[in-house]
A = this chain, B = another copy of it.
Amino acid sequence: MAKADPTKDAGARTGSTSLTVRKSLDVMDSFLDRPEGYTLTQLAARNGMSKATALRLCATLEACGYLDRDERMIYRIGPKVLRLAQGYRHQFRLETVVRPVLQRLRDQTGESASFYVAEHTERVCLVRENSRHVIRHHLEEGTRLPLHEGVVGRVLQAFQGAKGRQFDRIRADGVLMARGREPHTASVAAPVHDMAGRLIGALVISGPYSRFDAGRQHAAAALLLGARDDIARHVPLEGDMGKPTALATQTPVLSRAG
């Protein structure tokens, strides 16, 4: 290679990663900003490589269906991506993406983290990771509570479009921090939407007010927003895999190879 890239080791944590493959994936990523497509020269310039290199990478991506070229020589995202996305949707289960996020939230805050979905006039706790403290806000997965009660309830109602100054405020803030439904508790909740903006459910962190004070609530709120985006990034559009509730009820995936 000609130039020594100072960011070369930035991407490699453990083991090592293939430089060539990384470049080809960077090329693919270019299309996130600009789905309309690029000409070869544009791609080469954007990713800082010679036209010769860009051509070879693009030719490979095109041969495998990951890129497509129209009659004007414009590179576009190829149809193979559609098939992969289909496969993704097929294996997708909300729980498997939500649970690791909740575990991280619980470890970061020390308090209990849960994910709720609205169902008719109730809200269901689909996934939950309880705090490890002895004194904790404890609840079992599957618990159903009235939709109009509690911090999560208000958040879900707000982002279902409920009217009123209280809900306007929640929508404006994007998060809700408040004393909980039960005494001595405090909760921080935020809605989760898919990439198309449809409401999926809500994340909550709950703990005893004596420990989970205003300062920690604010810290939790920031973490919550990151977690929300992380989940949103994994949720496919559409309801062609059933209702969110059904997702958690599906049978476990993973089978052995053949």
Chain A residues near B (Cβ < 8 Å)? 11-18, 20-22, 24-26, 28-29, 31-32, 34-39, 42, 46, 55-57, 59-61, 63-64, 66, 70-72, 74, 76-77, 79-88, 90-91, 96, 100, 195-196, 233-234, 236-238, 240, 253-255, 257
Residue in chain B with minimal CB distance to A25: B64
Q: Are B22 and A72 in contact (CB under 8 A)?
A: no
Query: Could you tell me the distance between the alpha carbons of A241 and B90 in the complex, rounded to whole angstroms?
Result: 21
Q: A36-B91, A90-B35, A100-B71 are in contact. Are A20 and B20 (CB under 8 A)?
A: yes
Can you spell out 30 A-B residue pairs with CB atoms less than 8 angstroms apart?
A: A16-B56, A16-B59, A17-B56, A17-B60, A18-B20, A18-B60, A22-B60, A22-B64, A24-B24, A28-B84, A32-B83, A32-B87, A35-B87, A36-B91, A36-B253, A36-B254, A36-B255, A37-B91, A38-B257, A70-B100, A77-B87, A79-B88, A79-B233, A81-B88, A82-B195, A82-B234, A82-B237, A86-B195, A86-B237, A237-B240
Residues of B contacting A57 in the complex (Cβ-Cβ under 8 angstroms): 18, 21
Closest CB in chain B relative to A195 CB, distance in Å: 6
Q: Are A88 and B35 in contact (CB under 8 A)?
A: yes
Q: Are A76 and B91 in contact (CB under 8 A)?
A: yes
For the complex of A and B, 7 pairs with smallest distance between CB atoms: A85-B85, A35-B87, A35-B91, A17-B60, A25-B64, A42-B257, A77-B88
Residues of B contacting A38 in the complex (Cβ-Cβ under 8 angstroms): 257
Q: Are B254 and A72 in contact (CB under 8 A)?
A: yes
Query: Could you tell me the distance between the alpha carbons of A24 and B21 in the complex, rounded to whole angstroms?
Result: 7
Closest CB in chain B relative to A138 CB, distance in Å: 23
